[in-house]
Amino acid sequence: MSSLNLAGVSLHYGPEQTGLPVLQNVSLNLARGEFISVIGRSGSGKTSLLNLAGGFVAPSAGRVTVDGKPVTGPGPDRAVVFQDDALYPWRSVRDNVALPLKLRGIDAATRAEKAREWLAAVGLQDHQDKHVWQLSGGQRQRVGLARALASEPEFLLMDEPLGALDAMTRDQMHELLLSLWEESHAGALLITHSVEEAVFLSTSVIVLAPTPGRIVHREEFEFGRRYLEGEDPRALKSEPEFIDARERLLAAIYEKELVDG
């Protein structure tokens, strides 16, 4: 099973001697079929972690590898869904989704067909010819998701993609995300502010604490899998187990603040 691995990774912006690192000695392994969420307060290096995994920045120490091969830059094996949707307003919805295929040299007819399929998969089959700005925030994030999946990545890296959405749209997106994750067999890495989102979606949650960013808690969950096996999402989210897990993670997020003072 292929995997994305961060081993003892530290990250400094600027010269190493000045100040604390953004991330210190962070290790994690994301295998295909896993769903890891990263939570933590602002400044705990969540986005830096994603930038390392995506290959946008190189670690100051430690190694980032995919199947043992060092990551030297971004690549189509690791698709990214950005916080701002990062769509291209000069392209139609369909052409946004087709861009990864175009860059791979796939002919126009095939990529239009594939883009149609992915848009249907995120429920936007009726919006293909629209302009990006004619869509709502949730629809735009779904286009971003379809575009990321169109490159058929091994790993799907998501940087707070649902942060700007309203609660109802978020719930819909959670269910969509789980279905697509299952279908694509990709390994998913989600950066999020929402503890509930992390507990519901992930097979594994990592809590980062700030200054320096480091892992202070890891925990595995089954709620997403149970949803995919047919259980009701609202029932799952109101189980005592779910509520306990949420409180435990919240405690892990804030505990370190009290200790550090």
Locus of tokens 């950066």: 191
Min separation Cβ 245 and another protein, Å: 23
State the amino acid at position 170 in one-letter form: R
Min separation Cβ 112 and another protein, Å: 16
Contact between 158 and 108 under an 8 Å Cβ cutoff? The reply is no
Min separation Cβ 217 and another protein, Å: 29
CA–CA dist 90, 87 (Å, integer): 9
CA–CA dist 41, 208 (Å, integer): 8
Specify the DSSP class assigned to residue 202: -
Report the site for another protein in 173-212 (rule: CB under 8 A): 175-176, 179, 183
Contact between 174 and 200 under an 8 Å Cβ cutoff? The reply is yes
Q: Where are the alpha helices (DSSP H) in the chain?
A: 46-54, 93-103, 108-121, 137-150, 167-184, 195-201, 223-228, 233-237, 240-260
> Which residue among 3, 65, 83, 204 contacts another protein (CB under 8 A)?
83
Put the strands of the sheet holding 35-40 in their side by side order: 78-81, 155-159, 187-191, 35-40, 204-209, 214-220
Report the site for another protein in 43-62 (rule: CB under 8 A): 54, 56
> Which residue among 172, 193, 204, 216 contacts another protein (CB under 8 A)?
172
Q: Which is nearer to another protein, 105 or 240 (CB)?
A: 105
Report the site for another protein in 122-161 (rule: CB under 8 A): 122-123, 126, 131-139, 142, 147-148, 151
Kindly state whether residue 29 participates in binding another protein, applying the rule CB under 8 A: no
Question: Nearest to residue 122, comparing CAs of 102, 153, 94?
Answer: 94
> Which residue among 28, 38, 49, 79 contacts another protein (CB under 8 A)?
79
Cis, peptide link before residue 70, omega less than 30° from 0: no
Kindly state whether residue 86 participates in binding another protein, applying the rule CB under 8 A: yes
Kindly state whether residue 80 participates in binding another protein, applying the rule CB under 8 A: yes
Kindly state whether residue 110 participates in binding another protein, applying the rule CB under 8 A: no
CA–CA dist 3, 79 (Å, integer): 14
> Which residue among 73, 230, 240, 261 contacts another protein (CB under 8 A)?
73
Binding site for another protein (CB under 8 A): 54, 56, 73-76, 78-80, 82-84, 86-91, 99-100, 102-104, 121-123, 126, 131-139, 142, 147-148, 151, 169, 172, 175-176, 179, 183
